[in-house]
Every structure is written in C-alpha cells, then in structure tokens.
C-alpha cells in the first residue's frame, strides 16, 4: 500500500475547530486500535532492500556497514530504516501529516550545543526526514525501545511497558502542545543537563552513572577535542591522522592528479555551501580556509555514503574549525510517501532539521556540486559541537522507560512544530487505546527485527549479501 503524494506540508492552517474535526474524523477512518497491527500479510525480503542501498556506496566500506549492523538486533534496526519504511507502508495510517524525522529510534536522540551555548536535548539525525503520517515516527521510536529492552536482557512485559510509557508520554505531550500558542511550541526545548540529571536521580546505580557521564562526555565533544583526536601537526602543518578505514586522508585515497581534482571539488563545495547560510553566518565561515580533507565513516545506516571532514584554518591564526560534509540521498520514505518538494536532498535534510529541532547548528547548510558521474547533494555542519547520544545499553526497565518518555516528549514537540498538533491531539484523545496499540506494535516489530537480524547474520556467515 503506497501512500504517494502526501510528502508536503503546504496549505492554509485550519482553525482550531477544523483541526479538531479533522482529528476526530481520522479516528473514525483509522481507529487507534488498528495502529497496533503489522499490516497485510506478504512476502518480504529485507536483504534485497538492504542490497538495493549498497550498489553505489564506497565498496570497501560496505563490509564495515555489515559488521556494525550484525552486532545486535538493535544495531541491525538502526541500519534498516528502509526495511521498516517498506513495512510501515503496509499498515493502517492516520493520514495526519507532519514533518517526520524518518529514523526516530532511541539512538537518534541526544545532546548538542545550541547557538546560545546551552546543552539541549533533541533529535539529532535527519537523513531520512520527509512529511508523512505522524505515527510512523512514533512506531519507530517504540519499536526501538522494545528491541533495546530485549538487547538489555529485560522481560517481554518490561519491553512492552517501556513502549507503552513512551507512547503515553507522546500523547500527553501532544495534548499539552495543542493547548499552547504556536510561539510557545516553537520555543519549547529541553535542557539536557537538567533532564538527564533528573533521570539519573531516579535510576539504578549503573544507569545513573551512564546518564551523568553523558553530560560530561557531551561537554567534551567539542570541535577542539575532535581536532586533538583526529589531527596532528606534521612538518609544521596540521593534518588528519590516518585510521583506515574509519578515517582516511584524501592523499591516501587517490593519486596526485585525482587529489588535486578532489580538493578543487571540495573548495567549490565549501563556496557553494556558504550561499545557503544567512549573510552574517556566511561572514563567519569566510574567516576560514580549507587546508586538509579526510573521508570519515559515520553512523550505522550511513556507512558507505561519502562523508568528508574538512579542516578549516582561521585567518586570525587562532582555533581551527572542523566541518563535516555528508552526502545526502533520497529519503528511504520517498518511495512510499512521494518525492520531497526539494530537488536538492541536502536542502531537504536541512529544512527538515530546522523545522523539527528547537535550535540548529549555526553553520548548518547544503549545496549541490557536479562531478563526472553526475551531481552530488551534501549537507554541511560543524563536527561534534557537543553532539552526543546516550548509550542505553545496560539500562534497567525504569531507566529505559524514563528515557523513552523524554524522547517521546521531544518527538511530540518536533511534530507539533511541523504538523497540525491540534488534529493529532484530537485523534489521540485521552484513552489508553493509542498507548496500548503502540505497545502491541512494538513487541510485534521487535520480533520481526530479531528474525531479520538472524537472517542477516546467517547470510553474512554463509556468503555475502
């Protein structure tokens, strides 16, 4: 069941009464209880979907992707956003559209530095962002919670409780946002230090230590820390230190003639990228000059896409700047929800991020460059800048549920910014039907994922994908 044609957020905003009517009508058309189902029975081939993403990735990095995905069912789930998008396209949906993250699992929430230099908590990965039914993001979140619970050795009842708690928190938050003026929604944000400290106060000793350390680690993950870790001064010039295949300087990838062409292309990338920034931020970046480049492996599902770290030396001779330019491709949701209204996939990512995040990187931008084999879309941001995801491995049931509630509140805030919060709240109502349906879905999809992971690891052991 494809839902092509709804991937836009255009149109005149309805009145409150119209929104309430829209939400209540959606509940009649798609009862909340139906959201717990996995959809129509069909023959599915998750390995074929994963193979379809790999034909034009960097060949020597594909095994790294396989290794990371094979580690646990949760890491497989992280890399299998396309598989879940295909599965979600077979399910009943509300038809209530908002800006989706497209990959809203537990590990894609975390802390980062706001422009005001506060440590905030928010969604932090938008490679798959696209408008679509709000519950697709919620389903990916609750499924990730059940899978994480199983990976942590928790019982089925505890996995379901964690998913239900997150869904209930999303429902309550959306009801709250529906009662707030739009500017209040727009300015709502989570102070990461405060919230993680609150969670640590009620968690068991092991989980509390993880949460407390998360704030400390986030504060240390600065561009200067990355500079110390990833670079060294060689013959008076700062250069990236090779750590193949995870970090490979440009000079180790190509011959001299190709290196010169690569640097010319990347200098053009930086120049074009600055045009997507506001004028005052363009002035900021123009104080730096590109001096060295390396290819970097990032994430799980993104492994094999071309991501570059750019060493930018300051004209004032003080602190260098590290940027990351990451290849942006068509969202995994596009085949089911329709193409983005933005032809440039980098712009799609950046616009989605700016809609959903309470505060975004001041240097976040996009560009399109031409190569011999066609054009390449990228988005660019600062490397690190306090960005850190909480490691939920080892969380007990209480800590996982509490952290899930925080993620769910954050997701609801993002959806309230990008969609009709009043209609979504009216659709969800105040009963337990939505939370129970999400609990059912989470357990069912966790079983599907564990089966897919077993199939994946067996295929790797027997032959290659």
pLDDT at 277 over 80: yes
- Per-residue pLDDT band for 465 (boundaries 50, 70, 90) equals low
Higher pLDDT, 217 or 172: 172
Residue 291's CB: how many other CB atoms inside 10 A?
14
Q: Measured in Å, how far apart are the chain's first and last C-alpha atoms?
A: 27
- 241: which residues sit within 8 A by CB, 6+ positions away? 230, 231, 232, 247
Taking each helix axis from N to C terminus, what angle separates 421-428 and 16-29, rounded to the nearest 10 degrees? Answer: 40
- For residue 294, CA distances in Å to 206, 244, 258, 260 come to 37, 10, 14, 14
pLDDT in the model for residue 4: 47
* Cα separation, 376 vs 56, whole angstroms: 12
11 vs 366, more confident: 366
The residues spanned by each domain of the chain are 16-218+393-462, 223-382
Phi, psi angles (nearest 5°) of residue 66: -60, -45
Q: What whole-number distance in Å separates Cα of residue 177 and Cα of residue 185?
A: 6
Cα 211 to its chain centre, rounded Å, is: 20
**pLDDT tens digits along 121-147:** 899 999 999 999 999 999 999 999 999
DSSP 3-state of 267: helix
Mean pLDDT (the chain, rounded): 91
Three-state secondary structure call for residue 98: strand
212 or 187, which is more confident? 187
Q: What is the pLDDT of residue 221?
A: 67
The Cα 306–Cα 327 span in angstroms is 5
Chain centroid to CA 188:
20
Round to whole Å and give the CA distance between 285 and 278: 11
Percent of the chain with pLDDT over 90: 73
User: In Å, how far are 67, 276, 346 from 375, measured between CA atoms?
Assistant: 30, 17, 12
Taking CA atoms, 318 is separated from 139, 235, 313, 315, 386, in Å, by 47, 18, 8, 8, 20
């Amino acid at each position: 069941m494809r839902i092509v044609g709804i991937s836009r957020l255009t149109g005149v905003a309805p009145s409150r009464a119209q929104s309430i009517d829209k939400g209540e009508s959606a509940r009649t058309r798609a009862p909340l209880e139906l959201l717990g189902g996995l959809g129509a029975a069909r023959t599915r081939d998750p390995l074929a979907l994963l193979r379809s993403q790999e034909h034009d990735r960097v060949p020597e990095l594909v095994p790294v992707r396989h290794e990371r995905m094979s580690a646990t069912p949760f890491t497989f789930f992280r890399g299998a956003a396309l598989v879940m998008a295909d599965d979600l396209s077979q399910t009943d949906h509300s038809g209530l559209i908002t800006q989706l993250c497209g990959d809203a699992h537990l590990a894609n929430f975390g802390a980062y530095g706001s422009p005001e230099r506060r440590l905030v908590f928010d969604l932090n990965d938008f490679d798959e962002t696209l408008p679509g039914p709000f519950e697709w993001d919620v389903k990916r979140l609750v499924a990730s919670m059940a899978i994480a619970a199983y990976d942590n050795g928790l019982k089925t009842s505890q996995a379901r409780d964690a998913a239900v708690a997150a869904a209930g928190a999303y429902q309550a938050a959306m009801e709250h946002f529906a009662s707030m003026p739009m500017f209040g929604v727009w300015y709502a944000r989570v102070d990461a230090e405060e919230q993680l400290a609150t969670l640590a106060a009620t968690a068991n000793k092991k989980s509390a230590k993880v949460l407390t350390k998360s704030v400390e680690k986030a504060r240390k993950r600065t561009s200067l820390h990355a500079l110390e870790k990833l670079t060294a001064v060689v013959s008076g010039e700062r250069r990236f230190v090779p750590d193949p295949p995870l970090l490979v300087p440009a000079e180790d990838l190509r011959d001299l003639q190709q290196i010169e062409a690569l640097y010319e292309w990347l200098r053009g990338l930086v120049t074009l990228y600055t045009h997507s920034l506001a004028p005052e931020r363009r002035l900021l970046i123009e104080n730096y000059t590109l001096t060295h480049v390396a290819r970097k492996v990032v994430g799980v599902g993104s492994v094999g896409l071309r991501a570059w770290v750019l060493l930018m030396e300051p004209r004032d001779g003080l602190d260098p700047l590290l940027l990351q330019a990451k290849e942006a491709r068509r969202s995994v949701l596009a085949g089911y929800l329709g193409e983005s209204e933005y032809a440039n996939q980098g712009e799609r990512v950046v616009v989605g991020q700016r809609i959903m995040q309470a505060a975004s990187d001041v240097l976040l931008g996009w560009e399109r460059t031409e190569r011999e084999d066609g054009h390449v879309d990228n988005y660019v941001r600062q490397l690190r800048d306090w960005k850190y995801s909480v490691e939920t491995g080892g969380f007990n049931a209480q800590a996982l549920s509490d952290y899930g509630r925080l993620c769910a509140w954050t997701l609801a805030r993002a959806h309230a910014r990008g969609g009709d919060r009043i209609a979504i709240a009216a659709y969800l109502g105040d009963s337990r039907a939505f939370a129970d349906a999400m609990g059912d879905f989470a357990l069912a999809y966790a079983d599907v994922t564990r089966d897919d992971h077993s199939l994946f690891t067996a295929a790797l052991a027997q032959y290659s994908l």
